[in-house]
């Protein structure tokens, strides 16, 4: 059996995948060949050319050749996004943001600090909550109980148990009137009205009626929904493009989605046609052309045609 491994892909080229060997982490390429030896206590996926790694309990960053380009001296740290990574310099201390050279781009003055997205990050200190820009300047303050990252020009906010969305200016884009909501993706946001889920557009208009007991956000132009215990998929107009016939199904990614058929898992395309025969006991979504699959205890990684890229014979 292949190492006892778990691979997760990065989002940049050249594509590298994390591999867990015993209690250490390294990286391999698309062929499964070791690029960075499994020498780290833990590691995040690559983002903007750097990967957060754990050495002696502290975080630092390596490049794609495995060189430690930012020393592992941070007790708390995050991945790089838009040239900034959240980091804490001292145990239980405030957070700031590093640039890709390891210099402080935003001073360590924040008690809470989220990832940058669309040029802004949600932060909080003794003076209250705010969004800051990449230089650390406060763009606007707010009094929401929760404020998330911006996605497609909207950020999910919560106050007194009600969900809504704001614009990058801080103005309300969608009133806080929902019992639950999830961030925008593919121009749609899942919202719950009463006990049922539906979808709104960026202006807050209901574009898919709230008639689903369970639904998931749009991914790759399809949203999973459940009716009478069976899963199907919607298109962005609300058409049930793939009828609910699956006992289990996952999100679409790279044009394919894992689904259960006759107690085994395979992959369908965006029209609902079986693209990879159901022959696995477990499967994950595709990332950078590879999907983790299992048959019992055997683990392998397949390409989009269902061929084993590396791993156990299944």
CB pairs under 8 A, 24+ apart, for 140-146?
Answer: 140/169, 140/170, 142/166, 142/170
Are 185 and 217 contacting, i.e. CB atoms less than 8 angstroms apart?
yes
Q: Taking Cα atoms as reference points, which of 109, 95, 226, 139 lies closest to residue 86?
A: 95
Taking the alpha carbons at both ends of the chain, their separation in whole angstroms is 11
Per residue in 149-202, pLDDT tens? 999 999 999 999 999 999 999 999 999 999 999 999 999 999 999 899 999 999
Spatial separation of the C-alpha atoms in residues 101 and 69, rounded to whole Å: 8
Average pLDDT over residues 261-286: 96
Per residue in 93-124, pLDDT tens? 999 999 999 999 999 999 999 999 999 999 99
What CATH number belongs to 79-143?
2.40.10.480
CATH class (in words) of the domain with range 213-314:
mainly beta
At residue 9, does pLDDT exceed 60?
no
Q: What are the residue ranges spanned by the domains of the chain? A: 1-74, 79-143, 213-314
Spatial separation of the C-alpha atoms in residues 143 and 253, rounded to whole Å: 36
Are 96 and 112 contacting, i.e. CB atoms less than 8 angstroms apart?
no
Q: Taking Cα atoms as reference points, which of 245, 263, 265, 256 lies closest to residue 304?
A: 256
Say which residues have a Cβ less than 8 Å from residue 157's Cβ, sequence separation at least 6.
Answer: 142, 144, 146, 147, 148, 163, 164, 165, 166, 176
Per residue in 58-70, pLDDT tens? 999 999 999 999 9
Q: DSSP state, 14?
A: S
Q: What is the pLDDT of residue 7?
A: 38
Say which residues have a Cβ less than 8 Å from residue 33's Cβ, sequence separation at least 6.
Answer: none
Q: Among positive and negative, which fits the CA dihedral 124, 126, 132, 134? A: negative
Q: Please state the separation of Cα 288 from the chain's center in Å.
A: 14
Q: DSSP state, 188?
A: B
Evaluate whether 79-143 and 213-314 have a shared fold: no
């Amino acid at each position: 059996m292949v190492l006892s491994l778990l691979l997760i892909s990065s989002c940049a080229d050249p594509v590298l995948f994390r591999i867990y060997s015993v209690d250490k982490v390294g990286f391999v390429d698309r062929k499964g060949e070791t690029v960075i030896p499994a020498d780290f206590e833990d590691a995040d996926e690559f983002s903007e050319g750097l990967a957060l790694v754990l050495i002696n309990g502290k975080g630092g960053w390596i490049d794609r050749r495995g060189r430690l380009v930012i020393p592992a001296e941070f007790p708390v740290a995050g991945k790089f996004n838009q040239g900034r990574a959240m980091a804490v310099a001292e145990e239980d201390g405030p957070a700031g943001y590093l640039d890709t050279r390891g210099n402080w781009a935003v001073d360590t003055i924040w008690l809470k600090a989220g990832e940058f997205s669309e040029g802004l990050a949600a932060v909080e200190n003794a003076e209250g909550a705010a969004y800051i820009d990449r230089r650390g300047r406060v763009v606007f303050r707010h009094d929401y109980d929760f404020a998330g990252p911006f996605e497609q020009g909207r950020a999910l906010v919560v106050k007194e148990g009600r969900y809504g969305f704001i614009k990058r200016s801080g103005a309300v884009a969608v009133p806080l009137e929902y019992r639950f909501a999830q961030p925008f993706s593919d121009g749609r946001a899942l919202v719950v009205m009463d006990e049922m889920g539906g979808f709104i557009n960026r202006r807050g208009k209901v574009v898919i009626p709230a008639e689903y007991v369970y639904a998931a956000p749009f991914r790759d132009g399809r949203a999973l929904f459940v009716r009478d215990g069976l899963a199907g998929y919607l298109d962005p107009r609300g058409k049930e493009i793939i009828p609910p016939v699956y006992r289990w199904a996952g999100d679409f990614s790279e044009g394919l989605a894992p689904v259960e058929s006759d107690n085994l898992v395979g992959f369908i395309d965006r029209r609902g046609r079986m693209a990879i025969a159901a022959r696995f006991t477990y499967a994950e979504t595709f990332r950078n052309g590879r999907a983790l699959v299992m048959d019992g205890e055997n683990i392998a990684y397949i390409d989009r045609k269902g061929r084993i890229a590396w791993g156990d014979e299944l």
